[in-house]
Amino acid sequence: MLQLLILHALAALAAPALVGWLGRRAFLVLALVPGSAAGWAVAQTGAALSGEPPSQSFLWVGGLGMHLTFRLDALSWLMTLIVGGIGALVLVYSAAYFAKGASALGRFAAVFVAFAGAMLGLVTTDNTLALYMFWELTTIFSYLLIGHYHERQASRRAASQAIMVTTLGGLAMLAGLVLLGSAAGGTTSLSLLVERAAAGELGAGDPGLLLPAAIVLILLGAVSKSALLPFHFWLPAAMAAPTPVSAYLHAAAMVKAGVYLVARLAPGFGQEGTWRAMVLALGLGTLLLGGYRALRQHDLKLLLAFGTVSQLGMMIAMVGYGSRAVALAGLAMIAAHALFKASLFLVVGIIDWSVGTRDMRELSGLGRSMPVVAAAATLATASMMGLPPLAGYVAKEAALEALAHDGDWLVLAILAVGSTLTVAYGLRFLAGAFATKEGVVASSPRYQSRLIALPPVVLALAGLAVGVVPAAVETALAPHAALYPGDAGHLVLWGGFGVPLAVTLAVLLGGYAMFRARGPIERAQAAVVPVPSADRVYRRSLVVLENLAADVTAVTQRGSLPAYLSIILAVTVVTAGGAAVLEGTLPASVRTADWWGQVAIAVFIAITALLAARSRRRLKAVLLLGASGYGMALLFAAHGAPDLALTQVMVETITLVILVLVLRRLPTYFSNRPLGGDRYLRMGLGIASGLAVGVMGMVAVAGRTATPVSEYLPDATYTYGYGRNIVNVLLVDTRAWDTMGEISVILVAATGVASLLFLRDRTGIVDPARNRRRSEREGVVWDDGGPDLAARMRQSPAGGAPQWLRAPARGQQWLRGGTTLAPRRRSVIFEIGTRLVFHTMIMLSLYLLFAGHNQPGGGFAGGLVAGTALMVRYLAGGRYELGEALPLQAGHLLGGGLVVATGAALIPLAFGGQALQTAVFELVLPVWGDVKIATALLFDVGVYVLVLGLVLDVLRSLGAEIDRHGEIEGVSDEEVAAS
Amino acid sequence: MTFDVTPSITLVILAAVLVAVGIHLMLERSLTRIVIGLVIASNGVNVLFLVAGGRAGSPPLNEGGSVADMADPLPQAMVLTAIVITLGMSAFLLAMAYRSWQLNGHDEVQDDLEDRRIVRRAARDVIARRVRDDSGATLAEDARVTRDETATDLGAVP
Amino acid sequence: MTWLVPLPVVVPLFAAGLAVVLGRRPRLQRWIATLALLTSLAVAIALIIAVDDGPIVVNVGGWVAPVGIALVIDRLSALMLAVSVAVTLAVLVYSGAQGVADKREGAPVAVYYPTFLVLSAGVSNAFISGDLFNLYVGFEILLAASFVLITLGGTRDRIRAGTIYVVVSLMSSLIFLTAIALIYAATGTVNIAQLGIRLVELDPGLQLVLHLMLLIAFGIKAAVFPLSAWLPDSYPTAPAPVTAVFSGLLTKVGVYAIIRTEVLLFPGGRLDTALLVVALVTMVVGILGAVAQDDVKRMLSFTLLSHIGFMVWGVALSSVTGLSAAVFYVVHHITAQTALFLVAGLIEHLGGTTSLTRLGSLARLAPGLALLYLLAAMNLGGIPPMTGFLGKVGLLQASAEAGTPLAWTLVAGGLVTSLLTLYAVTKAWNMAFWQEAESRRPARPMPASMVGATSGLVAMSLALAVGAGPLVDYTDRAARDLRLRTPYLEAVLPEGQYPTDVYEEAWGSVDGQG
């Protein structure tokens, strides 16, 4: 069976190409695919109807109990015949039906065949989850087929409606199936489920609610798929699909899926109260409603659609009824309905194709002009109305017989009424389609074709064939019916005189009478105020959904950063803080301070921070921030953390400079916005968070049970880290992995800053030439429009000025970049100072780098010091000076640093060590003599270079580049940004 | 090494104050203030690390001397990493502030426009035509206009 | 095998360094990046197989846990690693052609590839780290990279959206850092395995505090309601590939961290009920958000949000089946959501916009694209037989097994969410593919690499469905070991909490310890 499915899949994939190649004739080829399924079923008849049906099983997702198991028992055999046979016929029909140039035929063919495959899987699989899989696949394919003409709103709407409604039911069904799977004795094998349910082993010991719940959920699936109340409305709307689709999906195959599922499970669950109530109420209700609505349709397709709804209701009621005899009738009805309804839809298609309309008010005299089609239609309709000797008659008769035998008069009566309606709209259909009406111009068929007429004729004749040999049909259907409890029923043409015959006669007469009175009935129907139709309810609920969604989103999605932060903080304070306050235990003892100075420092830090927060001037805020930061450094130093203090000082300095560099361009004052309660909310949240942190901190330290891992460090770091400075060893060796990550953060941040500032420079890497002086005439840095003496000196009074009058040449100045500064910004003292201090600082930074392993310092401190040196050069000499100080690209430093550091991580791997593992080398150098070098140094060098790169990059972007932005004349920042 | 984690109330309070101030600033709309707030708040967390590390002690340097009153070095290493990361982050945030000033003439965080639009829509309860995609036509009306692209090239009746 | 473990982090970083140095050579950068990620992928796949017989632990620098930083790979992290790297690679190929790196976006080429590599390294680091503070560092790496990527080009929208993202992320880092400080204060260690031993010994009140702090920090990253509102405001404005890789990976890192927290650090399951409720609300509110959007990328961002709920649901069931389903769902969602965002990128490329009200008639213009969208969307909508469905079934079965009323409520919520997901994606399909566009605009040809990468990812998600059997078994085994905890703990701390020797055999040292 899997082979057949694969065949379908491949055919579907090939279909577009095939159609492209053969045109419409491709449909004839593709017809072989579903045809083969039917043929295979025929070949398997003997086995299928025997005790142990042919089956196949492939493991797929064992963990979820989802297997590809197939089983061709009597029911599946019947459905396979229908799905395959009618599928083939409809494809043949399509070959003639569609125009040569019809749009997207390839897609249509592909989806159609794919659907046939999914349907085949659905009716043959024995695994509940696989069943659901095929179930949903049919939904999707029908979605695409209904929406085939997606330029039409009607098609789009019908498609969305169909997929939503059937998926809703499908998901309910999934829940039900999972529920059954998890129940006591539950499984994902359909046949086992039914067996155990029949034996009452299913859900034994589970809460009584479990089984009914599962039944309701599963039936929801069946009911929605087969368009029963209250989901019936999607089916008529789905008539927007091309007629072949209506004939196959919405008459013969897909809508039968629900009926199939009910027939499949009824032997096990048919006796449950919930089951019977739901099946009968919805089934019979739909039977009546569908018939009633069909009576007033003028569009032949719609008439048939409502007829289908009605019949589906009847079938579900019959196969779900739970008694053997009725079930047999139901199965026969499935077959009969598939034959006559498909045939009728195809006939309507032919009329539409040939005459150009489906509206019975515009049709007349077709009975004469298309005798063959008319005959087929009459045969099919007769079968639908239940006239002997046709399939429909046999099935209905058997049902009446069985119900009479059980004495279930209520159901019998409803069935009779339903059948009466069927007769009425059946006649209405025939008359409407083929009768000659006075006052209507005889419609002339423009086209005829044997090919297109063939399928409906075949189907109609099949209906006749089934009718004349009821015994044979009975033997085919009996095996499944036998699974139901109750006495066996029979399919016969002549059941003798009795209630059924009487009922049938009454039904036929009543139906005819209603047909004669169709005029008044239509008017009456038009007159009665229609109850809010399910369709309108659906449309309304969509509107409600959309509005609800918008409202909820409007509440949760404010789009304001402060709001989001406030929510996060509120959650944190309330939950974590709350837990600390309510459940935490505070430490038994606290000390005021580690030493008296701590208090002073803390107060200083706190106050400066507070002032920074309160100040309305950007610069002031920043300077106060710096002060508080240096306070932190002091705190660290006093706490016994020299490295921390050193780094803090450096970082604080750089942060300060960066802030100042950026802020010089931003407005002096923070914009003063009117802040009401909003402000107090923020204060409140801040204070609350602070308190929370305080309390949590106390609770945390109070809870300390074990000694920290640090106890290992003093010995370990020296023995294995070859360094006295534990913190440095931690950074470059023990926890070097952290440091590696940290420097990559630095790299990314630096390049990111550049990328935001150098948007006009595509490479995003500072072009050194950019900050190198190109000519004496180059732009003047930091000019505030004051008198430029240097410029005046450069201007030659007459002809070339003598060399010595020019700005000093190389070697005759302290800082070359200096000459590019606006003279009023130059400070010779500063320049000289810089000149002197620069190299000292570089030396210091190198010392820190190498000494780091044993004394405070290390790569970070070193790099930061070097960076600071650069910063001084920049501040003293302007941006051209920066280019002079370090004619390297920041990118090279950043990247190179990371390469070196990660390289140091990789090398040990090559020698069978761990990443970043340190080794020590002792070598004798001429001057130093015997020195010990830990390879960790290499890593530290990488850090040093990268940090230097960071500072350079930041200076060049936030410093130099912002200078340039400021100097660009006539070019607004807007354009700088845009470029 | 000192494992005495009896908290110094001064440090705890300092951490609390710094966090409070920092958070307060981070709730502002001006990016500059947010940066300042971020730095202050992280300082607060760093102080919390000191608390976690225990009592102040001698620098964690192995000068052969006793390690009895050495401060716990592990939190120091972690704080050092955190400090540097914060430096990178705040530098980037500043660049953003500058950029936003370049673009908008101020460094204030704007609200999300799309969200605002939906808030307005929710207030009006209107659904776009293309979203609903439903003219409200009845089945019969739809059926009348719905026809398939059928063949016109088969044997026409003479 | 141990030498493989650090590579997914170190190699991309090394390559990133090179790429920055070669700032002027975009094509070369691209090759380096691709090569690096291919290496990571190979390593990750090798590790998946290797760890199936027990976690692999690497003591970085030879420093034995708990003193040094341990890198730990168990089935969970190996799986996460492989899927994330594969997805990242696909997106890299995609972005090679797409605008991110080119002039139209006005982005500096030099930054894109290195940053992208660092992002990948950060994600991998988060997955393999066995040390809480190092996990923080890993987060910072990927955050820093994501900051740069989300503001790429520095346009007005991206700066606005980026600000929300950056500041919220920094807030979450702050919370995480605080949590670490508290945890160190309470336990004196940051080694996750050791924490697994020490945290449970703490006083329950304190445990609750630490537990909550971590969950909040990770909840923000994973975008769990009500900490999630930042995501849909920030993701959609980024370039398509960036959004794609973010949606695939960043939130999942948060989910991964939540799994570790719930299973390894705080196995008590004290907050499970709360988490279940959170999961429910996340699913429903998120999907309603998706329904309300009429922009493809925003709609997708909300589905992303909503489906995070599915994973939290699985974790909070605190059963092996639930955990297994959650892990499977993570794998599914990484591929599905990323693929969808790549498709959205193609839509944007073709239609010139992501606004559904302006898009249209794509089904006619680009049938291939239509097929890709349909497959990816149906996968997200949980249509069988695709992974979205399998993951959902796993969760349903796990809840049925739990059988509590709350669990059944989540089943209902989950099904409603899938239905609404289907509604949202079909609505988008209807508007962008079926309806006629209001304004015609010439369709731009789609670069082969973009289509190729997208198709590759879609194909991958289909392949995952086909091979779901072994995958589910794998996640089952992973979940079982996670619940046991002992495999992890014993692998990291073979001698228990207090190893006698804290250093492995040194290499290349000329004369021992000198």
What is the band of A763 on the pLDDT scale with cuts at 50, 70, 90? Answer: very low
Residues of C in contact with A549 (CB under 8 A): 288-289, 291-292
- Nearest CA to A685 among A605, A565, A584, A578? A565
What is the band of A721 on the pLDDT scale with cuts at 50, 70, 90? Answer: confident
Per-residue pLDDT, A627:
95
Residues of C in contact with B48 (CB under 8 A): 178, 181-182, 185
Inform me whether the pLDDT recorded for A695 exceeds 50: yes
Lowest average pLDDT, out of A516-520, A681-685, A806-810, C321-325, goes to A806-810
ipTM for this model: 0.95
Section A792-810 average pLDDT: 43
Determine the distance in angstroms separating the CA of A46 from the nearest CA of chain B, rounded to an integer: 41
Q: Cα–Cα distance between C398 and C385 in angstroms, integer? A: 19
**Is the link from the previous residue into A520 a cis peptide, with omega within 30 of 0?**
no
Residues in chain C: 514
Question: Is A897 within 8 Å of C17 when comparing Cβ atoms?
Answer: yes
* Structure letter (DSSP) for residue C506: P
Q: Cα–Cα distance between C454 and C314 in angstroms, integer? A: 28
Inform me whether the pLDDT recorded for A63 exceeds 80: yes
Provide the percentage of residues in chain A whose pLDDT is more than 70.
Answer: 89
pLDDT in tens, C292-303: 998 999 999 999
User: What's the gap between Cα C20 and its chain centre?
Assistant: 26
pLDDT: is B16 or A837 the higher one?
B16
Residues of B in contact with A714 (CB under 8 A): 1, 60, 62, 67, 70
* Pair of tokens at residue A176: 């039900």
The rounded mean pLDDT for chain A is: 87
Per-residue pLDDT, C97:
67
State the CB neighbour count (10 A cutoff) for residue A825: 15
Section C71-95 average pLDDT: 95
Contacting chains of C (3 CB pairs or more, <8 Å) are: A, B
Q: Cα–Cα distance between B130 and C432 in angstroms, integer? A: 10
Per-residue pLDDT, A921:
67
Lowest average pLDDT, out of A156-170, A539-553, A581-595, B80-94, goes to A581-595
- Whether chain A has a CB inside 8 Å of the CB on C405: the answer is no
pLDDT: is A890 or A930 the higher one?
A890
Residues of B in contact with A643 (CB under 8 A): 76, 80
- Whether chain B has a CB inside 8 Å of the CB on A553: the answer is yes
C interface test, pick of A748, A757, A762, A765 with most C CB neighbours within 10 Å: A748
* Pair of tokens at residue A886: 């370090």
**Is the link from the previous residue into C241 a cis peptide, with omega within 30 of 0?**
no
Determine the distance in angstroms separating the CA of C54 from the nearest CA of chain A, rounded to an integer: 20
What is the residue type of C61?
G
Per-residue pLDDT, A675:
59
Per-residue pLDDT, C506:
60
Q: Which residue does chain C place closest to A160, by CA atoms?
A: C426
Provide the percentage of residues in chain A whose pLDDT is more than 90.
Answer: 59
Beta-strand pair C70-73/A920-925: unpaired
The 3-class secondary structure across A93-120, one letter per residue, is: HHHHHECCCCCCHHHHHHHHHHHHHHHH
Q: Cα–Cα distance between B33 and B46 in angstroms, integer? A: 20
Q: Are C152 and C105 in contact (CB under 8 A)?
A: yes
Question: Is C133 within 8 Å of B78 when comparing Cβ atoms?
Answer: yes
What is the band of A767 on the pLDDT scale with cuts at 50, 70, 90? Answer: very low
Q: Which residue does chain A place closest to C4, by CA atoms?
A: A909
- Whether chain B has a CB inside 8 Å of the CB on C140: the answer is yes
Question: Is C182 within 8 Å of B48 when comparing Cβ atoms?
Answer: yes
pLDDT in tens, A451-481: 899 999 999 999 999 999 999 999 999 999 9
Determine the distance in angstroms separating the CA of B100 from the nearest CA of chain C, rounded to an integer: 7
What is the band of A804 on the pLDDT scale with cuts at 50, 70, 90? Answer: very low
Residues of C in contact with A59 (CB under 8 A): 469
Residues of B in contact with A243 (CB under 8 A): 148
Residues of B in contact with A149 (CB under 8 A): 146, 148-149
Distances (CA, A) of C365 to B74, C309, C369, C424, C432: 62, 36, 9, 22, 11
- Whether chain B has a CB inside 8 Å of the CB on A658: the answer is yes
Which residue's entry shows tokens 């019959």?
Answer: A318
Inform me whether the pLDDT recorded for A812 exceeds 90: no
Select from C144, C162, C180 the Cβ nearest to the Cβ of B89. Answer: C144
Q: Cα–Cα distance between B62 and B66 in angstroms, integer? A: 8
pLDDT in tens, A362-416: 999 899 999 999 999 999 999 999 998 899 999 999 999 999 998 899 999 999 9
Beta-strand pair A920-925/A929-934: antiparallel
Q: Cα–Cα distance between C150 and C142 in angstroms, integer? A: 12
What is the band of C353 on the pLDDT scale with cuts at 50, 70, 90? Answer: confident
Contacting chains of B (3 CB pairs or more, <8 Å) are: A, C
Select from A98, A671, A976 the Cβ nearest to the Cβ of B30. Answer: A671
Residues 272-301 of C with CB under 8 A from A: 285, 288-289, 291-293
What is the residue type of A508?
L
Inform me whether the pLDDT recorded for A92 exceeds 90: yes
Question: Is B92 within 8 Å of C148 when comparing Cβ atoms?
Answer: yes
Read off the pTM: 0.93
What is the band of A790 on the pLDDT scale with cuts at 50, 70, 90? Answer: very low
pLDDT in tens, A240-269: 999 999 999 988 899 999 999 999 999 999
pLDDT in tens, C198-216: 999 999 999 999 999 999 9
* Structure letter (DSSP) for residue A484: S
Question: Is A625 within 8 Å of B40 when comparing Cβ atoms?
Answer: yes
Lowest average pLDDT, out of A643-657, B101-115, C436-450, goes to C436-450
Per-residue pLDDT, A674:
56
Q: Are B102 and A757 in contact (CB under 8 A)?
A: no
Lowest average pLDDT, out of A640-644, A817-821, A962-966, B40-44, goes to A817-821
Provide the percentage of residues in chain C whose pLDDT is more than 70.
Answer: 95
Per-residue pLDDT, A789:
47
Residues of C in contact with A686 (CB under 8 A): none
Question: Is A762 within 8 Å of C103 when comparing Cβ atoms?
Answer: yes
Per-residue pLDDT, A820:
61
* Structure letter (DSSP) for residue A801: P
Question: Is A559 within 8 Å of B116 when comparing Cβ atoms?
Answer: yes
State the CB neighbour count (10 A cutoff) for residue C353: 17
- φ/ψ region of C61 (left if φ > 0, alpha if ψ in -120 to 50, else beta) reads left
* Pair of tokens at residue C74: 């168990």
Q: Are B50 and B5 in contact (CB under 8 A)?
A: no
Question: Is B52 within 8 Å of C181 when comparing Cβ atoms?
Answer: yes
Q: Are A310 and A419 in contact (CB under 8 A)?
A: no
CA dihedral A636, A642, A647, A652 (to 10 degrees): 40
Lowest average pLDDT, out of A201-215, A240-254, A397-411, A940-954, goes to A201-215
Inform me whether the pLDDT recorded for C338 exceeds 70: yes
State the CB neighbour count (10 A cutoff) for residue A629: 25
Q: Which residue does chain C place closest to B47, by CA atoms?
A: C181
Per-residue pLDDT, A973:
43
The angle that helices C132-150 and A736-757 make with each other, rounded to 10 degrees, is: 10
Per-residue pLDDT, B101:
87
First to last CA, chain C: 30
Question: Is C185 within 8 Å of B115 when comparing Cβ atoms?
Answer: no
Which helix (H) or strand (E) segment holds residue B141: the answer is: helix B139-145
- Whether chain C has a CB inside 8 Å of the CB on B93: the answer is yes
Residues 159-178 of C with CB under 8 A from B: 159-164, 166-167, 170-171, 174, 177-178
Q: Are B25 and A613 in contact (CB under 8 A)?
A: yes
Per-residue pLDDT, A768:
40
Q: Which residues on adjacent β-strands are paired with residue A55?
A: A71
Question: Is C185 within 8 Å of A697 when comparing Cβ atoms?
Answer: yes
Question: Is A163 within 8 Å of C292 when comparing Cβ atoms?
Answer: no
Q: Cα–Cα distance between A146 and A155 in angstroms, integer? A: 6
Inform me whether the pLDDT recorded for A833 exceeds 50: yes
Determine the distance in angstroms separating the CA of B69 from the nearest CA of chain C, rounded to an integer: 17
Inform me whether the pLDDT recorded for A282 exceeds 80: yes
Q: Where are the alpha helices (DSSP H) in A98-238?
A: 105-124, 128-146, 153-182, 190-199, 210-225, 234-237
Question: Is B56 within 8 Å of A965 when comparing Cβ atoms?
Answer: no
Inform me whether the pLDDT recorded for A16 exceeds 80: yes
CA dihedral C152, C154, C160, C164 (to 10 degrees): 40
- Whether chain A has a CB inside 8 Å of the CB on C162: the answer is no
What is the residue type of A720?
Y
C interface test, pick of B12, B45, B121 with most C CB neighbours within 10 Å: B45
Residue C54, SS3 per DSSP? coil
Lowest average pLDDT, out of A66-70, A841-845, C343-347, C412-416, goes to A841-845
Per-residue pLDDT, C19:
92
Question: Is A673 within 8 Å of B125 when comparing Cβ atoms?
Answer: no
Which residue's entry shows tokens 């006649």?
Answer: A427
Question: Is B49 within 8 Å of C184 when comparing Cβ atoms?
Answer: yes
Determine the distance in angstroms separating the CA of A898 from the nearest CA of chain C, rounded to an integer: 5
- φ/ψ region of C63 (left if φ > 0, alpha if ψ in -120 to 50, else beta) reads beta
